[in-house]
Amino acid sequence: MSLVRDALTILAVCAGAFFFLAGTVGLLRFPDALSRLHALTKADNLGLGLIVLGLLLQTEGAFPALRLISVWLLGLLAGATVTQLIARAVHPGGLHD
Residues touching another protein, count (CB under 8 A) = 46
C-alpha to C-alpha distance for 42 and 40, rounded to whole angstroms: 5
Q: Which of 8, 11, 27, 38 binds another protein (CB under 8 A)?
A: 27
C-alpha to C-alpha distance for 49 and 77, rounded to whole angstroms: 12
Site string for another protein, 41-60 (x = CB under 8 A): --xx--xx--xx--x--xx-
56 in Cβ contact with 69 (< 8 Å): yes
CA dihedral in degrees (50, 6, 11, 21; nearest 10)?
60
C-alpha to C-alpha distance for 82 and 76, rounded to whole angstroms: 10
Q: Which of 53, 60, 67, 92 binds another protein (CB under 8 A)?
A: 67
Binding positions for another protein, rule: CB under 8 A:
6, 9-10, 13-14, 16-17, 20-21, 23-24, 27-28, 33, 36-37, 40, 43-44, 47-48, 51-52, 55, 58-59, 64, 67-68, 70-71, 74-75, 77-82, 84-86, 89-90, 95, 97
